[in-house]
Chains A and B, each alone.
Chain A
Amino acid sequence: MLKLFNLGEMPGLDSMTVFHALARLGIESLVVASPRDPIVSVGYFEDTEESVDLDFCVEQAISVMRREIGGGTTYLDRDQVFYQLILRKGNFIIPIRIVDRYRLFSRPPIQTYRRFGIEAAFRPINDLCTRQGRKIAGEAGGDIGECMVFAGGILIDFDHLKASRVVRSPDLTFRDMVYRSMKENITSMKRELGEAPQRKEVESALIEEYEKLLGPMEPAELSPAVREMMTQLEKDLTSPRSISGKGVNPRMQVKIAEGVRVVQRLRKVPGGLIRITMEVRNNTLGDITISGDCTFSLKDRLQNLERALTGLKLERDVLKRVLDGFHSEYSIQSPQVTAEDLVETMLSQ
């Protein structure tokens, strides 16, 4: 029988080290918990220095830790109810295909949202979203020791401002775009329902739904061995060696939700530096800001251009056609900055 650790609010780092410890110790269990104080959790392969505004985190006393499961950089606080499922590999219930694991183990949080009147659904690969397509939970998983871990969080409320602020941004335009994109694309129970439900009711519903899927669970307390391992893991997962050292993220790109990202691209051209900050949704342009130290004449025409680009596919032919047309129609004077330069900047990796 799986153990149930219904831990309520606990120190922020504990709410993350707990599943690492249980997995290492091979204790099959479900953890339901919330971080009492906010933390930033970085995915296993994320580049912390590129993804996180570490100065801001230090200033705000927000701990930063690297988790041993996937996903990106996440801001976590007490308005989230975590669900962390630990199963030994080889447990027959674990689907073989990764995407099927997400589907199956997402059922309880989806049903939890539905019990409160929110029509949540699974959106591959690892998001839960509302009928309107707004993200209402992110999930991640991985193998730790001899166990698999599946983890996510019910968003009772979400602090878009703080979440966007912990993301490393090259400038205010980027940060503002990240904030606006998060506000538009990430929702919460409070936003969907008009008021936040009682935390205890959410926790109870979540546990009931997991029991429907996995069978009855045995309520348990964290043993000294688990706590000791958590203490050691806190040191390891927050150490400079753990926080730094990975670097596989493309520069200046923040994933907001499945299919939605805010990116900034820079390109040096004979006319100067072009800087383009864009929200991209499923390869289609949302908000876009073009700037840099190039000479773009007729600044108000540039804003017309930004509006004309919004809604276009991020594809060379499409962009070139619009940009060429715009240049000739408005006689944009951009010494040594051509339509081709702008296209190349937008498409660069």
Chain B
Amino acid sequence: MNPLDRSNASSGEEAKVIKGYRFPTDLYYHREHTWVRVEADGNVRVGMNHFFTKAAGVIVNIELPEEESEVMQGGVCGKIQSSKWIGNLVSPVKGRILRVNRDLMNDTTLVNTDPYGRGWVFVIKSFNLQDDLKRLLRPDQLDDWLVAEIEKAEAEKRMRKERRIRY
């Protein structure tokens, strides 16, 4: 196994594997590539999914949300940088940010190496959990959306190889 890929660590749960990318079955997923774990206290833990960590590359900077700030479902609450690209960190649910993962301030690559465990990004108190969860995807709903994304990424790679495209 690639030592950088420990996406099966920490979750401890069964995972759906789509074209080599892991999606633990106990989580919900947002189309902006965040995952949601509903915790025992009803709060929601959020991180980035395995596919994102591969497509983005090594995470080098992260702007974490402000604790106690409020965010809408789908709202931008921070930024993630990889490969000189600044991506949006999108909240999968509406709520108030309770705490952020300060370990990421010392090691942003936890998002890559342990996306479902130590690479979690923030915990949020959801205002409207049941309604918001209905707008997220369960693992058995990922195929239609994600397979298209993955196949597109792979097609681009193949096309470059086949055409020996050099820019």
**Chain A interface (Cβ < 8 Å from any Cβ of B):** 44-45, 68-71, 92, 95-104, 106-107, 110, 121-122, 125-126, 139-143, 248
The answer for the CA separation of A139 and B84 in the assembled complex, in Å, is 8
CB-CB under 8 A for A103 and B167, given A45-B63, A97-B55 = yes
Q: Which of A96, A122, A125, A142 contacts B152 (CB 8 A)?
A: A96
Q: Does B156 make an interface contact (CB < 8 A)?
A: yes
Q: Which of B61, B82, B149, B156 contacts A100 (CB 8 A)?
A: B156
Smallest distance from the beta carbon of B61 to chain A beta carbons, Å? 4
Minimal Cβ-Cβ distance residue in B for A45: B61
**Chain B interface (Cβ < 8 Å from any Cβ of A):** 55-57, 61, 63, 79, 81-88, 149-150, 152-153, 156-157, 160, 166-167
Q: Which residues of A contact B88 (CB under 8 A)?
A: 143
Smallest distance from the beta carbon of A34 to chain B beta carbons, Å? 22
Are B82 and A121 in contact (CB-based, < 8 A)?
Answer: no
Are B63 and A70 in contact (CB-based, < 8 A)?
Answer: no
Are A125 and B55 in contact (CB-based, < 8 A)?
Answer: no
Q: Which residues of A contact B57 (CB under 8 A)?
A: 97-99
Are A97 and B153 in contact (CB-based, < 8 A)?
Answer: yes
Q: Which of A96, A106, A125 contacts B153 (CB 8 A)?
A: A96
B57, B79, B84, B153, most chain A CB atoms within 10 A: B84
Minimal Cβ-Cβ distance residue in A for B57: A98
CB-CB under 8 A for A98 and B55, given A45-B81, A126-B84, A142-B85 = yes
CB-CB under 8 A for A103 and B55, given A121-B166, A141-B85 = no
Q: Which residues of A contact B153 (CB under 8 A)?
A: 95-97, 100
The answer for the CA separation of A96 and B150 in the assembled complex, in Å, is 8
CB-CB under 8 A for A110 and B85, given A96-B156, A98-B56, A248-B61 = no
Smallest distance from the beta carbon of B51 to chain A beta carbons, Å? 9
Q: Which residues of A contact B160 (CB under 8 A)?
A: 100, 103
Minimal Cβ-Cβ distance residue in B for A70: B84
The answer for the CA separation of A104 and B159 in the assembled complex, in Å, is 12
Question: Which 3 A-B residue pairs are closest in the complex by CB-CB distance?
Answer: A142-B86, A96-B153, A122-B167
Q: Which residues of B contact A101 (CB under 8 A)?
A: 85
Are A98 and B83 in contact (CB-based, < 8 A)?
Answer: yes
Minimal Cβ-Cβ distance residue in B for A126: B84
The answer for the CA separation of A104 and B156 in the assembled complex, in Å, is 10
The answer for the CA separation of A44 and B55 in the assembled complex, in Å, is 21
Q: Which of A95, A106, A142 contacts B156 (CB 8 A)?
A: A95
Are B85 and A70 in contact (CB-based, < 8 A)?
Answer: yes
A-B contact count (CB 8 A): 78
Smallest distance from the beta carbon of B50 to chain A beta carbons, Å? 14
Are A125 and B81 in contact (CB-based, < 8 A)?
Answer: no
Are B83 and A102 in contact (CB-based, < 8 A)?
Answer: yes
Q: Which of B79, B84, B86, B156 contacts A125 (CB 8 A)?
A: B84
Minimal Cβ-Cβ distance residue in B for A95: B156
The answer for the CA separation of A100 and B63 in the assembled complex, in Å, is 24
Q: Which applies to chain A's interface (DSSP): helix, strand, loop or mixed? A: mixed
Q: Which residues of B contact A141 (CB under 8 A)?
A: 84-86
Are B86 and A68 in contact (CB-based, < 8 A)?
Answer: yes
Minimal Cβ-Cβ distance residue in B for A138: B84
Q: Which residues of B contact A69 (CB under 8 A)?
A: 85-86
Known: A98-B82, A107-B167, A125-B84. 18 other contacts (CB 8 A): A44-B79, A44-B81, A45-B61, A68-B86, A70-B81, A70-B84, A70-B85, A95-B152, A95-B153, A96-B149, A96-B153, A97-B56, A97-B156, A106-B167, A110-B167, A143-B87, A143-B88, A248-B61
Q: Which residues of A contact B166 (CB under 8 A)?
A: 121-122
Q: Which residues of B contact A125 (CB under 8 A)?
A: 83-84
Minimal Cβ-Cβ distance residue in B for A146: B88
Smallest distance from the beta carbon of B5 to chain A beta carbons, Å? 16
The answer for the CA separation of A45 and B61 in the assembled complex, in Å, is 7
Smallest distance from the beta carbon of A172 to chain B beta carbons, Å? 30
Q: Which of B56, B79, B167 contacts A121 (CB 8 A)?
A: B167
Smallest distance from the beta carbon of B151 to chain A beta carbons, Å? 10
Smallest distance from the beta carbon of B85 to chain A beta carbons, Å? 5
The answer for the CA separation of A71 and B157 in the assembled complex, in Å, is 24
The answer for the CA separation of A142 and B81 in the assembled complex, in Å, is 8
Minimal Cβ-Cβ distance residue in A for B149: A96
CB-CB under 8 A for A100 and B157, given A45-B81, A107-B167, A121-B167 = yes
Minimal Cβ-Cβ distance residue in B for A125: B83
Q: Which residues of B contact A102 (CB under 8 A)?
A: 83-84
Minimal Cβ-Cβ distance residue in A for B108: A248
Are B167 and A140 in contact (CB-based, < 8 A)?
Answer: no
Minimal Cβ-Cβ distance residue in B for A249: B61
A68, A70, A141, most chain B CB atoms within 10 A: A70
